[in-house]
Amino acid sequence: MIRACPPSRLPPLLEPLEPRLLLAAPELEPGVPVNVGGSPIQASYAAPDVVDWNADGKKDLLVGDYSGYVRVLVNVGTNAAPVFSTWSYINCAGSAVRVGSG
């Protein structure tokens, strides 16, 4: 449950927000499994984001998980019907980048 704070108790950066915005419940669509190579990807506490990772004009998927690693799933389909055949961790100098969690 999200509770509104009285305006006098809000941190300065939140004061411009109207209290009704803080009370609004998010409207979420039902979850959809993401398949990679025909099987659902497993990621605990997944934090997905959509971005054109390889600048080919097709939206790819980044998925962070509880361990702090971030996977990139490059879309080999279309934006309307994305297809992901493989995934890999985001790497830097040969090591998987870990951004932490929590």
Q: How far is the CB of 11 from Ca ion (least distance, A)?
A: 37
**74-83 long-range contacts, CB within 8 A, separation 24+:** 82/58
Q: How far is the CB of 22 from Ca ion (least distance, A)?
A: 35
Smallest distance from Ca ion to CB 95, Å:
23
CB nearer to Ca ion: pick between 4 and 83: 83
Could you give the angle at the alpha carbon of 64 between the alpha carbons of 59 and 67, nearest 5°?
A: 160
State the residues that interact with Ca ion by CB under 5 A: 52, 54, 56, 58, 60
Cβ-in-10-Å burial (0-12, 13-18, 19+) of 64 comes to buried
